[in-house]
Amino acid sequence: MPSDKDEHIKMKCGKRIVLFTLFAMNLVDQPAPEVTIEQGTLSGKISTDGSFFEYVGIPYATTNSSTRFKAPLPPPKWKGVYKAVEEMYQCPQNTPFGVVGIEDCLKINVYVPSDIKVPLPVMVYIHGGGFILGNGGKMIVGPDLLVKQDVILVSFNYRLGALGFLCLGIEEAPGNAGLKDQIAALRWVNKNIAAFGGDPDNVTIFGTSAGGASIALLVASEVTNGLFKRAIMHSGSSLASWAINMDPIGVASNIVSRLGYDTKDPEKLYEIYSELSYKDLLLATANIPLTQLVHNKLLLLPCVEKNFLGVESVLNDLPYNLITKKPSKNISLMYSSTDKEGLFFADEETKDTLEIKDKRSPFEEDLKFKSKKEEKALALKVKQHYFGKEAVSEKTILKLSDMYTHLYFEIPIILEIELMLKTSDAPVYSYYFTYSGKRNLVKSSTKFVNEIGASHGDDLMYIFKGTIWPYRIDNKDQRVIEWITKLLTNFAKYGNPTPNDSPVRWKPHSKDQLNFLKIGDELEMIGIPNPEAYHLWKSIIEKHRRTKVG
């Protein structure tokens, strides 16, 4: 007969077995309901807290070395049940750990609230990364905060670098393969999202940085008509100097010149790019900061395409011309920027690059001047505005950051807003993010961590619960999360970010008055954030903007 001591030992062992079983159950993905789409049936998994279903790594199109630089091919079909649970896919790119990714990288992720009752609004996110980095995975695009607001979130990968944006003006490499991936993803959503409980007639696209510029380009393009109802552009504009490649042949030539090739002939360049491995193409520009890639003409970007019979082009003219000369989509729009966008880019500067910046013109190839003398005079005017009589140096680096903020983000966005107001009757909203909290991920990774304000990309962790930032959310940050996720999802649902009672009524812009919702420690409506810089850059850009490529 067992003793009391034996019984006690059994009870302790039994408790440990139960606890271990519960622990093990949490390590095993619990299956989400199966979904049948045009390609076949797929299954996903339930989120750890049970609040949403995840269907990740679904192929929305295909690409390989034989379709490099072109539009993607249709997605595969399958028999049986496709396990949509693998989220580690990404397109080839340079990282601090070397080259990662695979060419057949066109995967899409769908996150669905688990208590869905009616067709839900859909928000499709396009990631940023300078057209050379990033993916749609949960490291940044964690869905938790948005799906709580009763929307379906979709994210995806698209081709980057040469594979996505080589533009040689020939049929084999017409350009914008990465944008064509984005369009393929939107067409996939339009065709399949109803199977997940989404409303294909209520799709909002949104993106940050290069993703924001991509959104603006998709809004300007004619081939995207009917694919989305609303659009949100965070820290990106189709009018930014870094949104369009004004010399795609020159940039393509500069990149392979670093590998020992010397040609500007499109056919020869195509042959070189086709024969090189994607790893060699990426290593040609590895470890070069983003600002230096731009200034040294080593960054492949979206381009204006030539027309070829049977080849769909995304952009057949510059965005400025498309917006002003073509009928607008007449859809509700939202733009945003942060007050210290430039901190991220100023952090890349060294003593040597600052000395170069002190001597070079601040203008990029999107502007055209009658003479070097005219350009020099305007460059001096800009330098005096930001630096007075001081040199560009470590001492004045925060002033350089302000110039980056205005030139690359804030002013192009405002000028695009003004164009949209002239060509559309639909409401256009803007927010100006100044909040300095513990989830300002980008700023915290720079030497400017103690500066007040928000760097480029700092609003991301108040929209997404990315796994890259797993720390506890304090009450102050939680309040900002609740503000911004509610405002964005209200816009996606109703086209109005403040349809009901709110701490402040968010007024859209009008032709007579630009209105910005400042998101800081409080919510506040303001006018143009930096009027002096706005008037300076507007006078230069509107007079000297290029309206033709070449």
For the chain, the average pLDDT equals 93
Question: What tokens appear for 239 in the block?
Answer: 């009018």
| Amino acid 4: pLDDT | 52
**Helices within 397-452 (DSSP H only):** 397-405, 411-423, 441-444
- Computed on alpha carbons and rounded to an integer, the radius of gyration of the chain in Å comes to 25
Asked if residue 10 has pLDDT above 50, the reply is no
Tell me phi and psi for residue 522, to 5 degrees. Answer: -135, 170
Count of alpha carbons within 13 angstroms of residue 85, beta-carbon side: 15
Tell me phi and psi for residue 293, to 5 degrees. Answer: -60, -40
Q: Is 98 exposed, middle or buried, given 0-12, 13-18 or 19+ CB atoms closer than 10 A? A: exposed
426 Cβ neighbours under 8 A, 6+ residues apart: 330, 331, 332, 333, 495
What is the average pLDDT across 40-67?
Answer: 94
Contact in structure between 167 and 248 (CB atoms under 8 Å)? yes
Q: Is 49 exposed, middle or buried, given 0-12, 13-18 or 19+ CB atoms closer than 10 A? A: exposed
Asked if residue 444 has pLDDT above 90, the reply is yes
pLDDT tens digit string along 116-128? 888 999 999 999 9
The domains of the chain, with CATH numbers, are 44-544 (3.40.50.1820)
Confidence band of 3 (pLDDT split at 50, 70, 90): low
Asked if residue 13 has pLDDT above 60, the reply is no
pLDDT tens digit string along 77-106? 999 999 999 988 999 999 988 999 999 999
Strand partners, 42: 35, 82
Residue type, 352: D
Q: Collapsing DSSP states into helix, strand and coil, what is residue 438?
A: coil
**Among 253-267, 348-362, 501-515, whose mean pLDDT is lowest?**
501-515
Count the helices and strands in the chain (H runs, E runs). 18, 16
Could you identify the residue written with the tokens 């209105």? 515
Angstrom CA distances, 520 to 39, 436, 448, 481, stand at 45, 7, 18, 11
Could you identify the residue written with the tokens 């271990």? 20
Contact in structure between 141 and 155 (CB atoms under 8 Å)? yes
Angstrom CA distances, 538 to 27, 159, 418, 432, stand at 56, 33, 11, 19
Asked if residue 218 has pLDDT above 80, the reply is yes
| Amino acid 325: pLDDT | 87
Q: Which helix (H) or strand (E) holds 490?
A: helix 475-494
pLDDT tens digit string along 14-42? 445 444 444 444 445 799 999 999 999 99
pLDDT tens digit string along 138-166? 999 999 999 999 999 999 999 999 999 99
Question: What tokens appear for 412 in the block?
Answer: 């192009």
Asked if residue 215 has pLDDT above 50, the reply is yes
Give the rounded distance of the alpha carbon of 16 from its chain centre: 47
More confident residue, 1 or 320: 320
